[in-house]
């Protein structure tokens, strides 16, 4: 007869749910889940009930009704008779535009300032520190409003150009006014035209064939250039002599590009004062400039610190070892320090890109028509659909943020330490 | 992350919706204060003076309602709202009523679920330009940069006007009247457009008002009136009849000067008696006491007095009564009888 005390596998008593450590955690989780679901259920039913009491049926059909308002900065064609959906799309594109411009500029500023802050030159290092602390420690909204006020109050009005009190810059090609900066725009006299996609739906857009042609030539040029480099590599492997190829590589990109430009009849359209405003050229509105500058300078200050920390994280011995092997300083930077620093830099850089994108919703402070200004501003106000528009807005920002995260995480994977 | 945000929004929405369903009169009485949504600052209509005390045409109406309901014209919490935030503030119950140059339109009345309780100012949209531009008509504004408050009917009228006349413009959206003024004066826009009364009020605060002119075209009808949430009819009635009391008071010659005398005892005019509570029980029907109308009128005077004091011809804003004269004097201001 055995006297072992095996656990009673078959006998399950209800009290074991609480007193048996094998089941207890499960019980707690299930109770928590039920509580959570009940909370959601209560929120949903409460919201539905209250909306019904107010007589507001939740729905998204308002998105297909005419918007009725105009938007100043339109990246695609739009007029006030288009739907709220198209107005939101204009806003979304404006958000993406300022976010992309901001991320690029912030990275450039951040890298330069981050490196300068490590400079042995005392004045340069201190000036960089002043910039970083100044921008990092003041709310970005204040910078946006401040830059906008400076643009509006200090720059000349268009009428000053007529009276001769102000004149255009850069050999009469650029007009800087307090309504924005007008720069020359690229035009084609023998344009191939556009292809219209998606008919007349709310998401319709045009693709310029000129742009497609230029892009195709550019990509073909780059590929040719890569082939030339490969050939040079093969010759170097075989003979030890590397042929001079830089002129061929540059030519392969530039010559066809210029040829296509000439075929299309490329010329620049200059801004001209007509009536109340400048006409022609590309109009960079001061709301865009203020928002872009403020966001880039603000986020740039954070990126500068990230870059500085990334470079400092690479041990000095690495640089010295590279030097001992006879590498020149710029090769040391690109082959030894940067690949290791990037591993430290990229993860915090992602969250700064996300912050910049989300901060772009402060655009309404200067009247920049981003998606918060169109969908979350005028559309919400004219239709009274607070719940629906805010949900859509959150969904949009969530999608943008997750996309940025995904792309940057993929890049991070490619540079991070490969452990084999 | 996604779920947290989503449920956060639902919570906010449900709390907001919950608040609005309650009876507003009881809330106001329990609170001892009326929350009144006004503009963020439009001199003559609603703006704080040098001592921080709110004054203006809309402010006096809020005070009249507070006096009628709570017996104290100063028991008002003024909540500044922008063109964009005003409806959310009212729908969510943050304010009990909105007296903020708001145009009565079908979609706001029906779709946004508000009740306009009447019209206290008949207005229309105009354009303010600087004289040196030499523009004499709004149709000359082709290609102009126009400052416009977002979330207003004027924004939609503007789009319609320029489209109907087949001319182009560049809108510069702004949040508040103060921003519009700053951009306009700095020349960041050629013209500022909003209700003509608002333009007159804004112009009055300029350093040199005579350098600027309101163009003759009035491109829309803008009946401005106070509004409350749809569904609480008891509260809507109180606000509506407070406005009517102020209008009737002017028609019947009741002023803040003679109201003490008229309300002391029943006089010869039965309508005055009914309104001031010396006869009948109109106050009781509204759920208030007999002296409600007397207190409302004493708060800032009758409609004509409120108009003259804040925006009338003797003020810097210098608006003529025009459409806003009593119906007897050829205007549109008309109150149903107190009976």
Distance from CA of A152 to the nearest CA of B (A): 6
A183 close to A193: Cβ distance less than 8 angstroms: no
What pLDDT is recorded for position B191? 92
* pLDDT over threshold 90, residue A295: yes
Burial of A186 (0-12, 13-18, 19+ CB in 10 A): middle
What pLDDT is recorded for position B17? 45
Instruction: Give the whole-angstrom CA distance, residue B243 versus residue B65.
Output: 8
B142 contacts on A by Cβ (under 8 Å): 275
Tell me how far the alpha carbon of residue B144 is from its chain's centroid. Answer: 29
Residues whose CB is less than 8 angstroms from the CB of residue B164 and which lie 6 or more positions away in sequence, other chains included? none
A375 close to A87: Cβ distance less than 8 angstroms: yes
Share of chain A above pLDDT 70, in %: 97
* pLDDT over threshold 70, residue A68: yes
Long-range contacts for B287-291 (Cβ within 8 Å, ≥24 apart)? B287/B25, B287/B234, B287/B238, B288/B68, B288/B69, B288/B238, B291/B263
pLDDT band at A77 (very low <50, low <70, confident <90, very high): confident
What pLDDT is recorded for position B20? 45
Same domain? B319 vs B229: yes
A211 secondary structure, DSSP code: H
Residues whose CB is less than 8 angstroms from the CB of residue A361 and which lie 6 or more positions away in sequence, other chains included? A95, A370, A371, A372, A376, A397
Burial of A409 (0-12, 13-18, 19+ CB in 10 A): middle
What is chain A's mean pLDDT, rounded? 87
What pLDDT is recorded for position B177? 85
Residue B69 is assigned to a structural domain of this protein: yes
Number of domains forming the structure of chain B: 2
What angle (nearest 5°) sits at the alpha carbon of residue B44, between those of residues B244 and B241?
Answer: 10
Could you tell me whether strands B76-81 and B34-39 are parallel, antiparallel, or unpaired per DSSP bridges? parallel
What pLDDT is recorded for position B279? 86
The model carries a pTM of 0.79
Q: Look at residues A359, A383, A362 and name the one whose alpha carbon lies nearest to residue A373.
A: A362
Q: What interhelical angle do A338-359 and A386-415 show, nearest 10?
A: 170
What pLDDT is recorded for position A10? 66
* A275 to chain B: closest CA residue: B143
Three-state SS for B229? strand
Q: Which domain holds residue B209?
A: 125-220
Cβ distance A276 to B145 less than 8 Å, yes or no, reads yes
Q: Does B1 touch chain A (CB under 8 A)?
A: yes
Instruction: Give the whole-angstrom CA distance, residue A341 versus residue A343.
Output: 5
Instruction: Give the whole-angstrom CA distance, residue A228 versus residue A234.
Output: 10
Cβ distance A152 to B160 less than 8 Å, yes or no, reads no
Instruction: Give the whole-angstrom CA distance, residue A138 versus residue A118.
Output: 23
What pLDDT is recorded for position A2? 53
Instruction: Give the whole-angstrom CA distance, residue B217 versus residue A348.
Output: 56
Instruction: Give the whole-angstrom CA distance, residue B209 versus residue B204.
Output: 6
For B155, which of A365, A378, A387 is closest by C-beta distance? A378
Same domain? B97 vs B231: yes
Q: Look at residues B225, B233, B273, B228 and name the one whose alpha carbon lies nearest to residue B118.
A: B225
Same domain? B141 vs B114: no
Same domain? B262 vs B277: yes
Residue B335 is assigned to a structural domain of this protein: no
Same domain? B82 vs B140: no
Q: Does B164 touch chain A (CB under 8 A)?
A: no
Instruction: Give the whole-angstrom CA distance, residue B187 versus residue B168.
Output: 19
What pLDDT is recorded for position A7? 56
Tokens representing B71? 């017996």
Q: What is the mean pLDDT of residues B104-121?
A: 90
A336 secondary structure, DSSP code: I
A70 contacts on B by Cβ (under 8 Å): 158-159, 162, 169, 171
pLDDT band at B1 (very low <50, low <70, confident <90, very high): very low
Distance from CA of B65 to the nearest CA of A (A): 24
Cβ distance A152 to B151 less than 8 Å, yes or no, reads no
- Tell me which of B131-145, B224-238, B299-313 is least confident: B131-145
What is the phi-psi region of residue A281: left when phi exceeds 0, alpha when psi lies from -120 to 50, beta otherwise? left
Q: Does B172 touch chain A (CB under 8 A)?
A: yes
Residue B268 is assigned to a structural domain of this protein: yes
Q: Look at residues B229, A38, B110, B1 and name the one whose alpha carbon lies nearest to residue A46.
A: A38
Residue B232 is assigned to a structural domain of this protein: yes
pLDDT digits (tens, 9 = 90+) for B213-272: 888 888 888 899 999 998 889 999 999 999 999 999 999 999 988 998 888 888 888 899
* B11 to chain A: closest CA residue: A43
Q: In chain B, positions 84-143, which contact chain A (CB-CB < 8 Å)?
A: 84, 87-88, 91, 107-108, 111-113, 133, 141-143
CA atoms lying within 13 Å on the CB side of residue B191: 30
Instruction: Give the whole-angstrom CA distance, residue A280 versus residue B148.
Output: 24
Q: What is the mean pLDDT of residues A122-127?
A: 93
A187 secondary structure, DSSP code: E
Strands (E), A275-415: 277-279, 282-285
Same domain? B135 vs B232: no
What do you get for the CA distance between the two ends of chain B, in Å? 59
Which residue of A366, A382, A389 is the best one to mutate when testing the B interface, meaning the one whose CB has the most B CBs within 10 A? A382
Same domain? B29 vs B109: yes
Cβ distance A69 to B156 less than 8 Å, yes or no, reads yes
Mark B152-188 as b/e (b = at least 16 C-beta within 10 Å). Answer: bbbbbbbbbbbeeeeeebbbbbbbbbbbbbbbbbbbb
Residue B95 is assigned to a structural domain of this protein: yes
Instruction: Give the whole-angstrom CA distance, residue A204 versus residue A208.
Output: 13
Q: Look at residues B230, B126, B109, B128 and name the one whose alpha carbon lies nearest to residue B187.
A: B128
Q: What is the mean pLDDT of residues A349-378?
A: 90
pLDDT digits (tens, 9 = 90+) for A206-250: 888 888 888 999 999 999 999 998 998 899 888 888 888 888 888
- Using CA of residue A259, residue A263, residue A264, residue A265, what is the dihedral sign? positive
For B174, which of A367, A390, A394 is closest by C-beta distance? A367
What do you get for the CA distance between the two ends of chain A, in Å? 55
A206 close to A195: Cβ distance less than 8 angstroms: yes
Could you tell me whether strands B144-149 and B191-195 are parallel, antiparallel, or unpaired per DSSP bridges? parallel
Tokens representing B181? 């003024």
B147 close to B174: Cβ distance less than 8 angstroms: yes
Q: In chain B, positions 298-327, which contact chain A (CB-CB < 8 Å)?
A: none
Same domain? B179 vs B98: no
Residues whose CB is less than 8 angstroms from the CB of residue B21 and which lie 6 or more positions away in sequence, other chains included? A50, A53, A54, B231
What pLDDT is recorded for position A9? 60
Mark A362-384 as b/e (b = at least 16 C-beta within 10 Å). Answer: bbbbbbbbbbbbbbbbbbbbbbb
pLDDT band at B99 (very low <50, low <70, confident <90, very high): very high
Helix (H) or strand (E) holding B203: helix B196-204
What pLDDT is recorded for position B15? 47
CATH number of the domain residue B144 falls in: 3.40.190.10
Residue B92: CB atoms within 10 Å = 18
Residues whose CB is less than 8 angstroms from the CB of residue B75 and which lie 6 or more positions away in sequence, other chains included? B32, B33, B34, B66
Which residue of B12, B186, B228 is the best one to mutate when testing the A interface, meaning the one whose CB has the most A CBs within 10 A? B186
Residues whose CB is less than 8 angstroms from the CB of residue B133 and which lie 6 or more positions away in sequence, other chains included? A159, B190
Same domain? B228 vs B216: no
Cβ distance B172 to A72 less than 8 Å, yes or no, reads yes
Q: What is the mean pLDDT of residues B86-110?
A: 90
Distance from CA of A192 to the nearest CA of B (A): 28
Instruction: Give the whole-angstrom CA distance, residue A108 versus residue A299.
Output: 11
Residue B1 is assigned to a structural domain of this protein: no
What pLDDT is recorded for position B2? 46
For B112, which of A149, A279, A384 is closest by C-beta distance? A384
Instruction: Give the whole-angstrom CA distance, residue B184 versus residue B127.
Output: 11
Instruction: Give the whole-angstrom CA distance, residue A304 versus residue B317.
Output: 53
B193 contacts on A by Cβ (under 8 Å): none
Cβ distance A275 to B111 less than 8 Å, yes or no, reads no
Ramachandran angles phi, psi of A278, nearest 5°: -75, 140
Between chain A and chain B, how many beta carbons pairs sit less than 8 Å apart? 143
What pLDDT is recorded for position B201? 86
Per the listing, tokens 């920049």 go with A368
Residues in chain B: 339
- Residue after which a domain boundary falls, among B157, B192, B220: B220
B176 secondary structure, DSSP code: S
Residue B334 is assigned to a structural domain of this protein: no
Distance from CA of A48 to the nearest CA of B (A): 8
A124 close to A116: Cβ distance less than 8 angstroms: yes
Same domain? B66 vs B106: yes
* pLDDT over threshold 90, residue A38: yes
Domain boundaries, chain A: 16-54
Distance from CA of A90 to the nearest CA of B (A): 15
Residue B12 is assigned to a structural domain of this protein: no
What pLDDT is recorded for position B134? 84
Tokens representing B151? 């979330």
Cβ distance A47 to B14 less than 8 Å, yes or no, reads yes
What pLDDT is recorded for position A322? 92
What is chain B's mean pLDDT, rounded? 87
For B170, which of A44, A159, A277 is closest by C-beta distance? A277
Per the listing, tokens 């109009």 go with A283
- Residue after which a domain boundary falls, among B194, B220, B246: B220
Same domain? B173 vs B200: yes
Three-state SS for A280? coil
- Residue after which a domain boundary falls, among B191, B220, B249: B220
Distances (CA, A) of A363 to A241, A293, A360, B178, B318: 57, 12, 6, 18, 36
Tokens representing A68? 């009725």
Tokens representing A86? 């198209």
Share of chain B above pLDDT 70, in %: 94
Same domain? B71 vs B83: yes
Helix (H) or strand (E) holding A221: helix A209-239
Q: What is the mean pLDDT of residues A337-364?
A: 89
B190 close to B165: Cβ distance less than 8 angstroms: no
Tokens representing B309? 């004091």
Distance from CA of B159 to the nearest CA of A (A): 6
Q: In chain B, positions 184-213, which contact chain A (CB-CB < 8 Å)?
A: 186-190
């Amino acid at each position: 007869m055995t006297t072992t005390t095996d656990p009673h596998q078959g006998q399950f008593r209800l009290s074991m749910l609480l007193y048996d450590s094998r089941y207890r955690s499960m019980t707690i989780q299930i109770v928590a889940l039920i509580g959570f679901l009940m909370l959601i259920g209560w929120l949903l039913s409460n919201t539905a009930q209250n909306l019904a009491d107010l007589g507001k049926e939740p729905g998204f059909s308002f998105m297909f009704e005419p918007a009725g308002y105009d938007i100043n900065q339109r990246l695609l064609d739009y007029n006030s008779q288009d739907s709220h959906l198209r107005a939101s799309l204009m806003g979304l594109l404006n958000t993406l535009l300022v976010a992309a411009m901001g991320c690029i500029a912030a990275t450039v500023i951040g890298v330069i300032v981050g490196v300068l802050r490590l400079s042995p030159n005392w004045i340069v290092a201190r000036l960089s520190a002043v910039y970083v602390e100044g921008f990092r420690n003041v709310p970005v909204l204040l910078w946006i409003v401040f830059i906008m006020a400076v643009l509006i109050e200090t720059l000349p009005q268009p009428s000053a150009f007529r009276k001769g009190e102000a004149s255009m810059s850069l050999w009469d090609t650029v007009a800087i006014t307090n309504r924005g900066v007008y720069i020359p725009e690229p035009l084609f006299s023998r344009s191939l035209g556009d292809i219209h996609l998606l008919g007349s739906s709310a998401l319709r857009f045009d693709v310029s064939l000129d742009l497609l042609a230029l892009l195709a030539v550019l990509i073909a040029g780059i590929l040719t250039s890569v082939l030339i480099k490969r050939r040079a590599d093969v010759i170097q492997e075989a003979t030890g002599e590397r042929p001079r190829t830089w002129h061929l590589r540059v030519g392969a990109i530039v010559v066809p590009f210029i040829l296509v430009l000439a075929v299309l009849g490329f010329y620049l359209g200059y801004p001209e004062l007509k009536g109340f405003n400048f006409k022609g050229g590309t109009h960079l509105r001061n709301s865009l400039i203020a928002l872009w500058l403020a966001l880039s300078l603000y986020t740039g200050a954070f990126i500068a610190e990230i870059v500085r920390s990334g470079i400092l994280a690479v041990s000095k011995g690495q640089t010295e070892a590279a030097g001992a092997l006879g590498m020149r300083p710029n090769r040391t930077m690109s082959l030894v320090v940067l690949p290791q620093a990037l591993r430290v830099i990229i993860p915090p850089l992602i969250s700064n890109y996300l912050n910049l994108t989300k901060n772009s919703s402060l655009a309404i402070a200067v009247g920049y028509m981003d998606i918060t200004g169109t969908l979350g501003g005028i559309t919400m106000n004219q239709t009274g659909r607070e719940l629906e528009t805010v949900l859509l807005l959150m969904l949009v920002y969530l999608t943008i943020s997750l996309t940025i995260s995904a792309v940057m995480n993929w890049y991070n994977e490619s540079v991070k330490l490969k452990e084999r | 992350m996604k779920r947290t945000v989503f449920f956060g929004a639902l919570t906010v929405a449900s709390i907001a919706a919950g608040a609005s369903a309650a009876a507003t009169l009881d809330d106001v009485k329990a609170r001892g204060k009326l929350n009144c949504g006004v503009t963020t600052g439009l001199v003559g209509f609603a703006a704080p003076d040098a001592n921080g005390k709110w004054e203006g045409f809309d402010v006096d109406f809020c005070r009249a309602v507070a006096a009628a309901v709570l017996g104290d014209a100063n028991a008002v919490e003024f909540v500044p709202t922008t063109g964009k935030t005003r409806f959310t503030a009212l729908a969510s119950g943050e304010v009990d009523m909105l007296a903020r140059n708001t145009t009565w339109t079908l979609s706001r009345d029906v779709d946004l679920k508000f009740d306009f309780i009447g019209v206290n100012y008949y207005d229309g949209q105009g354009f303010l330009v600087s004289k040196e531009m030499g523009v004499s008509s709004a149709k000359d504004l082709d290609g102009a940069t126009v400052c416009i408050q977002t979330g207003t009917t004027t924004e939609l009228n503007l789009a319609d006007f320029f489209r109907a006349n087949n001319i182009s413009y560049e809108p510069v959206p702004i949040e508040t009247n103060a921003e519009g003024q700053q951009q306009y004066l700095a020349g960041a826009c050629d013209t500022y457009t909003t209700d003509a009364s608002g333009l007159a009020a804004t112009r009055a605060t300029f350093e040199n008002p005579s350098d600027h002119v309101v163009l003759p075209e009035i491109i829309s009808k803008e009946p401005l009136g106070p509004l409350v949430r749809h569904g609480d009819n008891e509260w809507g009635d109180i606000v509506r009849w407070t406005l009517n009391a102020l209008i009737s008071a002017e028609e019947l010659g009741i002023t803040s000067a003679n109201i003490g005398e008229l309300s002391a005892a029943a006089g010869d005019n039965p309508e005055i008696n009914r309104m001031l509570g010396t006869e009948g029980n109109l106050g009781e029907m509204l759920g208030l006491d007999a002296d409600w109308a007397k207190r409302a009128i004493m708060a800032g005077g009758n409609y004509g007095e409120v108009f003259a004091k804040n925006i009338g011809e003797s003020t810097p804003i210098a608006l003529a009564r025009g459409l806003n004269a009593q119906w007897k004097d050829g205007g549109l201001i008309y109150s149903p009888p107190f009976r």
